[in-house]
Amino acid sequence: MSILINNDTKLVVQGMTGRDGGFHTEKMKAYGTKIVAGVSPGKEGTNVNGIPVFNTVANAVKATGANTSVLFVPAAFAADAIAEASEAGIKLVIAITEGIPTIDVIRVTPILEKNGTKMIGPNCPGLISPGQSLVGILPVSIFSEGNVGLISRSGTLTYEMVNQLTTNGIGQSTCIGIGGDPVIGLHYIELLTMFEADKDTHAIVLCGEIGGDAEEQAAAFIKEHVTKPVVAFIAGQSAPPGKRMGHAGALITSGAGTAEEKIKAFEAAGVKVAKEPIEIPKFIKEALGK
């Protein structure tokens, strides 16, 4: 099992005929993802390596039954592309694009809610259910099939954590890079709920970072609602206040959003917090009695 994507995922790639879209389409296809369509206005009737191209997401959904979309669309047009996918009936949108104005994401959020569309991102690497489906730009060689779910605000930290797990013989059910922008789609609580309900996910790794209070909210939710073992890591432990570190959301303001506060919240919820990524596999093995 897995969450969000699996062998039944039917993917449409918005921006497939662009440089990045084309490159990553081939990577996803090679992994075994069922890519049923691409969308590039003005190119309907053509195909890219056997994948049909449509002018609109609505046309792609009607012709292929696509249920998931991934965006490789320039930031200026990405919010409209997200809204288009949602209005066309797509149930999961993965917005890889970075640099989308926060106000644009806020503008499309009610559209997603109205249509029951879930979103990962923006400014994220996407997600993978190892052995089943890849939607995004994740490096597949480091992933392995197993029973540990992973949620991370950082793309590169996702790769580091997964590499530590795989190297130590710990496979993954689904790994998700949620993005580090101030406003994103699915966040920790929604994904923790899905992993808690997934019978084949036995433990969860949560990778957080400074800024905001999402980790504190996640800790409170874990304490009350999550029965499976959760281990965590917080990036930015040496970050100075008032200076943005990497992501737009990774900013300590007025003493809030510090790594220390987040670590204390997790520890109070019974979540072990690693000082370094290399400790995560040991914590997982201890939690699972291995």
Q: Is the pTM of this model over 0.85?
A: yes
Residue-level pLDDT at 44: 95
Q: Residues with catalytic annotation? A: 247
Q: Are 158 and 150 in contact (CB under 8 A)?
A: yes
- Domain 10-120 is in which class? alpha beta
Contact residues for 269 (Cβ-Cβ < 8 A; gap 6+): 219, 220, 222, 223
User: Would you state the pLDDT for residue 211?
Assistant: 79
186-208 average pLDDT score: 97
Of the chain, the percentage scoring pLDDT greater than 90 comes to 86
Cα–Cα–Cα angle for 255, 261, 193, rounded to 5 degrees: 125
pLDDT of residue 250: 45
| Lowest-confidence segment of 31-35, 113-117, 170-174, 245-249 by average pLDDT | 245-249
Say how far apart CA 181 and CA 287 lie, in whole Å. 31
Identify the burial level of 233 via C-beta atoms within 10 angstroms of its C-beta, where 0-12 means exposed, 13-18 middle and 19 or more buried. Answer: buried
* Residue extent(s) of CATH 3.40.50.261 domains in the chain: 139-287
Q: Residue 242: pLDDT above 60?
A: no
Q: What is the pLDDT of residue 236?
A: 67
pLDDT tens for each residue of 26-61: 999 999 999 999 999 999 999 999 999 999 999 999
Alpha carbon distances (Å) from 121 to 66, 118, 192, 200, 227:
19, 10, 16, 25, 27
Enumerate the CATH 3.40.50.720 domain ranges in the chain, comma separated.
Answer: 10-120
Strand partners, 13: 38, 70
* Confidence at residue 155, expressed as pLDDT on a 0 to 100 scale: 87
Q: What is the mean pLDDT of residues 258-276?
A: 93
What string of H, E and C letters represents the secondary structure of the chain?
A: CCCCCCCCCEEEEECCCCHHHHHHHHHHHHHCCEEEEEECCCCCCCEECCEEEECCHHHHHHHHCCCEEEECCCHHHHHHHHHHHHHCCCCEEEECCCCCCHHHHHHHHHHHHHHCCEEECCCCCEEEECCCEEEECCCHHHCCEEEEEEEECCHHHHHHHHHHHHHCCCCEEEEEECCCCCCCCCCHHHHHHHHHHCCCCCEEEEEEECCCCHHHHHHHHHHHHCCCCEEEEEECCCCCCCCCCCCCCCCCECCECCHHHHHHHHHHCCCEEECCHHHHHHHHHHHCCC
Say which amino acid occupies 204.
I
Q: What is the mean pLDDT of residues 205-210?
A: 92
Query: Which pLDDT band, with edges at 50, 70 and 90, does 210 fall under?
Result: confident
Residues 277, 164 contacting (CB under 8 angstroms): yes
For domain 139-287, give its CATH number from 3.30.1370.140, 1.10.10.10, 3.40.50.261, 3.40.50.9100. Answer: 3.40.50.261
Q: What is the CA radius of gyration of the chain?
A: 19
pLDDT above 70 for 100: yes
The predicted pLDDT at position 50 comes to 94
Please say if the pLDDT value at position 240 is more than 90: no
**139-174 confidence digits (pLDDT tens):** 999 999 999 999 999 888 999 999 999 999 999 999
What's the token pair of residue 110? 């009610």
